[in-house]
């Protein structure tokens, strides 16, 4: 059968961004079954024993409680499982001195779903035909934003300003406020903080500036906090989560050990939460109640935030240190390579200025020496502008072992050295 696809059908049946590259990676791994690859492409978090144990314990508690049947044998409220909503309210009110109530919370099947709801509830064409944009204020950003809108022309992102430290081969992206446009044509704003792929953390001041710009036009700002405190707390630099007004704090339990259970949490003002909730009811009713029930226990007991701080954060921070130290030793000194400041998340981001080949070609050459990284171009969703920088970056996952990361970076350094000397790879 080969049914006709609608415009939306076409749009949604394409693999966007990094998922298209993942297909190439899976095919490589399958084609070369006998070959050992160091896979530094993964976005799947590491299964840390303490984290797995936490979820096992919460599950055992749930199984032995009278709540079990109510949890798994029943539909529930679209807004979320009440004990989880209550646990979030209590934790956040205490931790951040907020005044949240049930109307401020929505539980979704993963945070990706929240961005899909928001991108289509606030971005796209209004009933009078006006195009409302989904603004990504700093590109590169999460590749998944590339597929969230049913109206691709609604997605707009902005080139960043670059702060470069040539002596230490380091750099950092900053939002370019001289270019950023948030006005009556903006439907919503989305950015990740800490950022996947770069590890950037927008400063509190930068976030406040963006929310203030958007507030003037009553535009919701979705702050993708998939790596932020209090869990998984994958920030290696101080940052304050932003709540209230037009800011929607969006969390994920995926990097806190529960990606399979699909739990995202949005915290915001009632009208926005209601709009997102209706979208969710129409689309999928609600998130898995089993996942929500174990999450409620882990949050209410304080165990999740404690494990995030004491286990999850140090694990990835140490991986970044290994990567940074290895690159500092192994990379050719005369090549203009730059590592983005490692301020959080589970990735490192490399920029090769004046790279003689494309990021895709570099990825292929690195694959030849048994190392898989991710070419950077797919992390610029919504950036139409032709900008050479888009083809000069790589994302490296911090989910491998120390040895794999160090070996992988040494092999990468050799390839980079050859590429800049224009010596063909063997
Ligand atoms: C920045 C960012 N946002 C959202 C997501 C999606 O997370 P979830 O599993 O909660 O849908 C990811 C997943 O990798 C991510 O890196």
Q: 130 lies in which domain range?
A: 50-301
Q: What is the pLDDT of residue 31?
A: 82
User: Which one of 144, 258, 265 would you pick to mutate in the ligand 1 pocket, going by the greatest count of ligand atoms within 8 A of its CB?
Assistant: 144
Task: Tell me the pLDDT tens digit for each residue of 74-87.
Answer: 999 999 999 999 99
> Are both 372 and 279 inside the same structural domain?
no
Mutate to test the pocket of ligand 1, among 113, 116, 226, 234 (most ligand atoms within 8 A of CB): 226
Over 60: is that where the pLDDT of 426 sits? no
pLDDT of residue 45: 92
Mean pLDDT of 88-107: 98
Q: Are residues 102 and 194 in the same domain?
A: yes
Q: Into how many domains does the chain fold?
A: 2
Are 293 and 397 part of one and the same domain?
A: no
291 lines ligand 1 (CB under 6 A): no
CA distances from 412 to 32, 374, 375, 406 (A): 20, 12, 13, 10
Arithmetic mean of pLDDT, 147-175: 97
Task: Give the CA distances from residue 239 to residues 162, 206, 242, 312, in Å, rounded to whole numbers and listed in that order.
Answer: 20, 11, 9, 17
Is 155 inside a domain boundary? yes
Q: Are residues 37 and 62 in the same domain?
A: no
In a domain, 232, yes or no: yes
Task: With beta carbons less than 8 A apart as the criterion, state whether 213 and 182 touch.
Answer: yes
CATH value at residue 402: 3.90.1150.10
**Of 301, 329, 354, which one is at a domain's C-terminal end?**
301
**What is the rounded CA–CA span in Å between residue 192 and residue 189?**
11
Dig out the tokens for 87 from the structure: 């646990």
CA 383 to chain centre: 17
Tokens of 75: 């539909």
Which of 274, 301, 328 terminates a domain? The answer is 301
Same domain for 403 and 274 = no
Overall average pLDDT of the 38-52 stretch: 93
- Which atom of ligand 1 is closest in space to residue 111's alpha carbon? 10
Is 90 exceeded by the pLDDT of residue 70?
A: yes
- Indicate whether 342 pLDDT > 80: yes
Q: Do 148 and 35 sit in the same domain of this protein?
A: no
* Model pLDDT, residue 254: 97
Mean pLDDT value across residues 334-358:
97
CA 209 to ligand 1 centroid distance, Å: 24
385 and 267 share one domain: no
CA 25 to centroid of ligand 1, rounded, Å: 20
Q: Is the pLDDT reported for residue 17 higher than 70?
A: no
Which one is predicted more confidently, 27 or 94?
94
Residue 111, ligand 1, Cβ within 6 A? yes
Within a domain: residue 25? Answer: yes
252 CB within 6 A, ligand 1: yes
The answer, yes or no, to whether residue 423 has pLDDT greater than 80, is: no
Instruction: Report the separation in Å between the CA atom of 264 and the middle of ligand 1, taken as the mean of its atom positions.
Output: 9
pLDDT beyond 90 at 25: no
Same structural domain for residues 222 and 145?
yes
Q: How far is CA 62 from CA 68, 179, 296, in A?
A: 6, 51, 10
Q: Are residues 115 and 163 in the same domain?
A: yes
In a domain, 105, yes or no: yes
Q: Is the pLDDT of residue 168 over 90?
A: yes
Do 283 and 173 belong to one domain? yes
* Domain stop point among 301, 335, 362: 301
- The reply to whether ligand 1 has any atom less than 6 angstroms from the CB of 19 is no
Closest CA relative to residue 263, chosen from 242, 293, 241: 293
- This prediction has a pTM of 0.96
pLDDT in tens, 222-261: 999 999 999 999 999 999 999 999 999 999 999 999 999 9
């Amino acid at each position: 059968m080969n049914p006709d696809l609608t415009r939306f059908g076409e749009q949604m049946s394409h693999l966007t961004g990094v998922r298209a590259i993942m297909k190439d990676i899976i095919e490589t791994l399958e084609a070369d079954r006998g070959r050992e690859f160091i896979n530094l492409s993964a976005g799947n978090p590491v299964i840390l024993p303490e984290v797995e144990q936490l979820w096992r314990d919460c599950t055992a508690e749930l199984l032995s409680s009278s709540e079990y049947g109510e949890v798994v044998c029943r539909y529930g409220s679209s807004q979320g499982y009440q004990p989880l909503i209550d646990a979030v309210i209590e934790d956040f009110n205490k931790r951040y001195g907020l005044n949240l109530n049930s109307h401020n919370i929505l539980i979704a099947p993963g945070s990706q779903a929240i961005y899909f709801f928001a991108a289509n509830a606030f971005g796209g064409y209004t009933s009078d035909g006006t195009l409302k944009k989904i603004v990504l204020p700093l590109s590169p950003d999460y590749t998944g934003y590339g597929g969230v809108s049913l109206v691709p022309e609604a997605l707009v992102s902005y080139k960043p300003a670059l702060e470069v430290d040539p002596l230490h081969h380091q750099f950092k992206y900053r939002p370019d406020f001289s270019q950023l446009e948030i006005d009556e044509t903006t439907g919503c704003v989305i950015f990740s903080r800490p950022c996947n792929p770069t590890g950037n953390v927008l400063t509190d001041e930068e976030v406040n500036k963006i929310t203030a710009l958007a507030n003037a036009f009553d535009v919701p700002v979705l702050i993708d906090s998939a790596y932020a405190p209090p869990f998984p707390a994958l920030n290696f630099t101080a940052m304050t989560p932003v709540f209230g007004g037009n800011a929607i704090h969006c969390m994920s339990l995926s990097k806190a050990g529960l990606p399979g259970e699909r739990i995202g949490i949005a915290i915001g003002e009632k009208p926005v939460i209601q709009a997102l909730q209706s979208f969710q009811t129409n689309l999928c009713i609600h998130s898995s109640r089993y996942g929500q029930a174990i999450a409620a226990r882990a949050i209410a007991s304080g165990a999740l935030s404690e494990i995030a701080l004491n286990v999850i954060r140090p694990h990835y921070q140490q991986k970044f240190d290994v990567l940074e130290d290895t690159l500092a030793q192994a990379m050719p000194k005369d090549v203009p390579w730059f590592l983005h400041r490692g301020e959080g998340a589970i990735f490192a981001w490399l920029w090769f200025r004046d790279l003689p080949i494309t990021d895709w070609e570099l990825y292929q050459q690195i694959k030849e020496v048994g190392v898989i990284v991710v070419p950077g171009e797919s992390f610029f969703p919504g950036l139409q502008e032709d900008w050479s920088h888009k083809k000069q970056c790589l994302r490296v996952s911090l989910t491998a072992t120390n040895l794999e990361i160090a070996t992988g970076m040494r092999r990468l350094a050799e390839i980079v050295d050859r590429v800049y000397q224009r010596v063909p790879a063997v």
